[in-house]
Amino acid sequence: MHASTFVIATLVACRGPGTPGDKPGPGGSGETGISFDSTLPTADSAPTPPGTGDPAALSLPAPQPVDNGRFATADSCALCHDGAPGSNTMVDEVGNNIAPHDLWRSSMMANAARDPLWRAVMSAEIAATPAAADAIGQKCTRCHAPLASGDATLTGASLPTADVLTDGDEATFLALDGVSCTACHQIEDIGLGEEASASGGWTILGQGRIYGPHAEPFDHPMSMHGFTPLQSAHITDSGLCATCHTLTTHALAEDGSETGGTVLEQGPYLEWLNSDHVATSSCQGCHLPTVSAAGVPITTRIAHNPMGMAFPQTPPRSPFGRHLLVGANTLIPAILRDWPDVLRPGAPASAFDATLAAARDQLARQTATVQIGGVDLTADTLSFDVDLRSMTGHKLPTGIPLRRLWLHATVTDALGTIVFESGASDDSGRLVDSDGVALPSEAVGGPVLPHLDAVSSGDEVAVYEAILADGSGAPTFQLLRAAGFVKDNRLLPTGWDPTVAVVDGTAAVGVAGDPDFTGGSDTVHYTAEVANHSGPLTIEIEALYQPLAARWAAELFASGTPEALGFQAMYEAAERGPERVATDTAVVP
């Protein structure tokens, strides 16, 4: 691992298949000789819920191949690194296809530039600060469209803005390849894990070096495409991921000037540095696991020839990372799957289904646990504790502050009648009270739910989330107005130490007075009135996760941009209920 400490930078940023084309000619113009079809699709085949925007505002071109000698879209790599029927390459111990291209293509990394939520958020930020439109687009595309941004840097062209996604030229199809093979595997071992490489500060020299973990790679097939495979340990270093997943932003005024406020918008790498997981696993260890779905270490041939046959020069290798690249996002992969005529992803519905299944499996097995304890029943009152424990190597949830985790507690009597309930939600994914009415905190401009150590009514919910604050300390849902946090009670990773250097910007906010909110866990104390209800009483607890908090979505839609309203149509047609992370049940005689 590189840096053991990290001084947080104050940078303005957003977070953030076919045949290869011809190489550049002697003049170095980078022209590929490919004629790009810039015609955009329509949304005719997808339903638009009444009263919302037009999804066509988010229309994109389908993938087209580019290989300009500096960057190549993933289809070039797929020639040798996709799944070939009947091949004994890139398979696990039972023959399942684990080819990198086939797993990656339905991931959020592959679709980073097609992500309609990202595009809606970027449009809202630009609408709020139009004077900074180009700067916002350039910083956002740095990590969401790294091939286009990196290529512009190498050629001296203007850095891409939001328009690059729909211009229809070579840069468009580089951009729409998302976080692709020749982005990650070309990042140099320069400053990884250090301040200068954060917020999109990765270095790609454009010299065709493709880094992997294996010694003595067979280079001839790749050299034919202008790239040279090399072994380097940094490809499995968490600092590589930190170049885009550590992000500090400057707050901007409406005129685009900096206000002086800064906020760590996302910092999973810094959170991981301050955890017990730093000694046992890396970003890649969890998100590109080197074991099969059954937990068996993978040893396999890592490539085949374009006809699907194994190269004799490439014996089985280990480790081999499954390029699942899943976190906890189940909303956007489903939308990408369901709106193919608009978003034009390069993966079939079945691939998105597999990505969703992998994400839900990770949520269910590797995210958190809940346990009921401290149960005490008197004539009229039932009290109990819920211990929530994180299993992740960073905050839970982590990343951009639009996600949330909460506890849903239900007490029922012997007849199945609900005696007490906290944390219920409706079909729109909004938290509701005991009467099924959405809580005021779910509405635009509503109050923020405080961190709770004790819960005793249906309108009190233990919600773990980060809510940004503007320069005056008021809640804001505009990323580039943020100068801090009103609330950040996301679960800290196990081993989190408040005294180490990387704690700056990662400490919890709003949890003072809760002594059991500590590294890796929190305990919530419940009290329920149970008079006149016969036992036994059943306590049920669920830890629920939502990739896009209903309040955050409402604030985004209120921006009124075509992209935000187009995304609203997609969102309202999607399943918006939370994902179950963990459960526990106790019966009280």
Judge if 313 and 438 occupy the same domain. Answer: no
* Inter-CA distances, 147 with 102, 141, 180, 416, Å: 19, 9, 8, 57
Judge if 410 and 295 occupy the same domain. Answer: no
412 token code pair: 């029922």
Q: Which residue has the tokens 């005696």?
A: 419
Looking at residue 86, its pLDDT comes to: 85
Residue from 455, 429, 424 nearest 522 by CA = 455
Q: What is the mean pLDDT of each run of 10 residues along the chain (589 residues)?
A: 35 32 30 34 45 90 97 96 92 97 98 98 98 97 98 98 97 98 98 95 96 93 92 97 96 96 95 96 96 97 93 92 97 98 98 98 97 95 98 97 98 96 97 96 97 97 98 96 97 94 86 96 97 93 98 98 98 97 97
Cβ(494)–Cβ(281) under 8 Å?
no
Residues 6+ apart with CB under 8 A from 355: 106, 107, 324, 326, 333
| Residue 138 domain flag | yes
Residue from 475, 553, 545, 101 nearest 304 by CA = 101
Judge if 443 and 545 occupy the same domain. Answer: yes
Distance between CA atoms of 292 and 549, rounded to whole angstroms? 32
Q: Which domain holds residue 504?
A: 367-588
| Residue 154 domain flag | yes
Q: Report the phi/psi class of residue 77: left, alpha or beta, with left for phi > 0 and alpha for psi in -120 to 50.
A: alpha
Put simply, whether the predicted model's pTM sits higher than 0.85 gets the answer yes
| Residue 357 domain flag | yes
Judge if 354 and 488 occupy the same domain. Answer: no
Looking at residue 23, its pLDDT comes to: 29
45 token code pair: 């085949």
| Residue 52 domain flag | no
* Inter-CA distances, 395 with 6, 173, 326, Å: 17, 34, 16
Strand spans (E) along 341-453: 368-377, 381-390, 404-412, 418-422
Judge if 480 and 393 occupy the same domain. Answer: yes
Q: Which helix (H) or strand (E) holds 350?
A: helix 349-365
| Residue 266 domain flag | no
Residues 6+ apart with CB under 8 A from 177: 63, 66, 73, 74, 110, 113, 147
Q: How many structural domains is the chain composed of?
A: 2
Cβ(572)–Cβ(137) under 8 Å?
no
Residue from 208, 171, 219 nearest 70 by CA = 208
Tally of CB atoms within 10 A around 230: 16
| Residue 501 domain flag | yes
Judge if 343 and 397 occupy the same domain. Answer: no
| Residue 2 domain flag | no
The sign of the dihedral angle between the CA atoms of 121, 125, 130, 134 is: negative
Judge if 480 and 333 occupy the same domain. Answer: no
Distance between CA atoms of 238 and 267, rounded to whole angstroms? 12
Judge if 179 and 85 occupy the same domain. Answer: yes
For residue 446, the domain's CATH number is 2.60.40.10
Cβ(207)–Cβ(103) under 8 Å?
no
Looking at residue 9, its pLDDT comes to: 33
Burial zone of 212 (CB within 10 Å; 0-12 exposed, 13-18 middle, 19+ buried)? middle
Cβ(74)–Cβ(101) under 8 Å?
yes
Judge if 377 and 304 occupy the same domain. Answer: no
| Residue 3 domain flag | no
Cβ(401)–Cβ(535) under 8 Å?
no
Judge if 463 and 346 occupy the same domain. Answer: no
Judge if 357 and 371 occupy the same domain. Answer: no
361 token code pair: 């499996």
Distance between CA atoms of 31 and 37, rounded to whole angstroms? 15
Distance between CA atoms of 358 and 369, rounded to whole angstroms? 18
Amino acid identity at 275: S
Judge if 432 and 338 occupy the same domain. Answer: no
Secondary structure (3-state) at 540:
strand
Cβ(72)–Cβ(184) under 8 Å?
no
Which one of 345, 362, 379 terminates a domain? 362
Looking at residue 30, its pLDDT comes to: 32
Looking at residue 51, its pLDDT comes to: 58
